[in-house]
Chains A and B, each alone.
Chain A
């Protein structure tokens, strides 16, 4: 069991009487890469800013190891932030930006010089010391921001949507780079993003948020394969969400057909359930006795697979498949027991 470095207990924050973070609890272990994932306005950035010390919690505690840090000002917290827009000081060059925290601590020149060179190596920007920050590309600025945030040897690095200002290709590159840096320097990274793909790629642990509440936390695999509710299912990856009913465990009925599933009946009060099926888990083919039948209404090539919309009476299924099915074709959809996720009806 890894040691907990950051913990939130009953953390609550409101702005102008509007609750943004609603009594949440979480723990983050040492050297973990943890991502807060959620749509804009879900409170993820506020949580990060409370950890950094830019916002005071309205109530609840934040712990660093076993010490409450609520009242410690940002400049005394051993945590550093990489800002969404990098926030590099425009009146300083690359060297001075990275040296800034060390200069504040009045470290001697030699060790500052050595440390800056070492940090630039970590972020693959060796030799850029004297460059003007405005002359750097977005990706390079990002690296400088990371190097600067690491200059104080923080216990935790906080990253607020650090890749959102980059173009797609750069973003992919930086994802790999970030993961590499994290493994190399062995520090806790707390990452905030609304991009589920980024979260799945980078994280050891994902905390999914919506409306200031934690929806689910777990490994990327857990979250993707076993979403606990329709919000998570819908937000992470694409999902077909259908009303269904269960009269007994391990059997669900929806759109007039019965299927075997691996879940027990979630709620004894009602037979109503919600069925979630990932588009790539659907088998599309000939109509058969047990399949749900429909007609192809559109097909779009997505690079690796086709995205096919199939109209089945009153529900439109999204299907991802490598097979081509022309518009207007009659098809049948089939689902394996593992591919059907059952959730309590809201």
Chain B
């Protein structure tokens, strides 16, 4: 009895979490434009979505920024992690505290302060500024994924490589990178998911007609709901779910990380 009650509670909470999303998805196939009524199944909204040049452009920027930000932040983050790792305790702690700022700062503060920075540097807001902002908030997550792997690494492995004749650079390329690879991949996936999902920071750091999907959805949603947005949302949710499914498959094989993000 008690067990049944517990299960009921879990399912009610799951219903609470998923019902709105499911309703949204169902409505994206609703032929009736007035949302209450079910007017039959249609793919009309999806068709319109793919015709919409604004959405095409938003999709283009979303993906482009995500890919560039992921590549750059993964490379910079990994190299920086090695540098940070080699510093003594006090310097390392200081560097990590600064690195932590974008993680704990509310997105709105990060966004606003970068907006002010770009104005200060007389940079016209647009694609470049949005990319810089994304790189800035992605690198910390890469470092937070890679650094623990460096710390877990047996220092004797580095000494063994050195002992067997590896020069400092060879130690990194032949031993260290192989050892921290899981951390690098985790960081990369983190960066990609964060970038593709970001709204608040992009909202403050973009400009001159460059918007990503989240910004587009926001500007539409502020005017009320529309079936196209339902369709777009459905596609975005399915994409992220698929991505997570892949990540999880991978993690199940290795260490389990479920990631905390705010």
Contact = CB atoms under 8 A, between A and B. Distances in A.
Contacts of A118: none
B167 A89 contact: no
Given A85-B156, A104-B170, A52 B163 contact: yes
Contact of B164 (A73, A84, A91, A101): A101
A109 to B, nearest CB: 17
A83 B166 contact: no
Contact of A83 (B159, B165, B179): B159
Contact of B156 (A80, A83, A100): A83
B154 interface: yes
Interface in B220-235: none
A152 B164 contact: yes
A152 B178 contact: no
A148 interface: yes
B159 A74 contact: yes
A90 B164 contact: no
A151 B163 CA distance: 11
A91 B165 contact: no
B115 to A, nearest CB: 44
Interface in B158-201: 159-167, 170, 174-175, 178-179, 181
Best-surrounded residue of A54, A75, A76, A105 (most CB of chain B within 10 A)? A75
Contacts of B160: 81, 83, 87-89, 148
Interface residues of A, number: 26
B157 interface: yes
A75 B167 contact: yes
Nearest to A160: B156
A173 to B, nearest CB: 23
Given A87-B154, A87-B156, A87-B157, A80 B163 contact: yes
Contacts of A83: 156, 159-160
Contact of A148 (B162, B164, B166, B170): B164
Contacts of A100: 161, 164, 166, 174
Indicate the member of B163, B167, B178, B181 with the most A CB atoms within 10 Å. Answer: B163
A91 B154 contact: no
A43 B159 CA distance: 19
A74 B162 contact: yes
Nearest to B156: A87
A1 B140 CA distance: 62
Contacts of B162: 53-54, 73-75
Interface string B142-164: 00000000000010110111111
Contacts of B159: 52, 54, 74, 81, 83, 87
A89 B166 contact: no
B78 to A, nearest CB: 16
Given A74-B159, A85-B156, A90 B166 contact: no
B164 A104 contact: yes
Interface in B236-255: none
B67 to A, nearest CB: 27
A91 B163 contact: no
A286 to B, nearest CB: 58
Contact of A89 (B157, B165, B170): B157
Interface in B101-121: none
Q: Which one of A81, A87, A101, A149 has the greatest number of beta carbons of chain B within 10 Å?
A: A87
Contacts of B161: 89, 100
A90 B163 CA distance: 17
B175 A89 contact: yes
Contact of A81 (B163, B170, B178): B163
A15 to B, nearest CB: 13
Contacts of B179: 90-91
A67 B167 CA distance: 22
Nearest to A100: B164
Contacts of A149: 163-164
A104 B166 contact: yes
25 contacts: A53-B163, A75-B163, A75-B165, A75-B166, A76-B165, A80-B164, A81-B163, A83-B156, A83-B159, A84-B156, A85-B154, A87-B156, A87-B157, A87-B160, A88-B160, A89-B175, A89-B178, A91-B179, A100-B164, A100-B166, A100-B174, A104-B166, A104-B170, A149-B163, A152-B164
Given A73-B162, A89-B178, 9 more contacts: A75-B167, A80-B163, A83-B156, A89-B161, A91-B178, A100-B161, A100-B164, A101-B164, A152-B164
Interface of B: 154, 156-157, 159-167, 170, 174-175, 178-179, 181
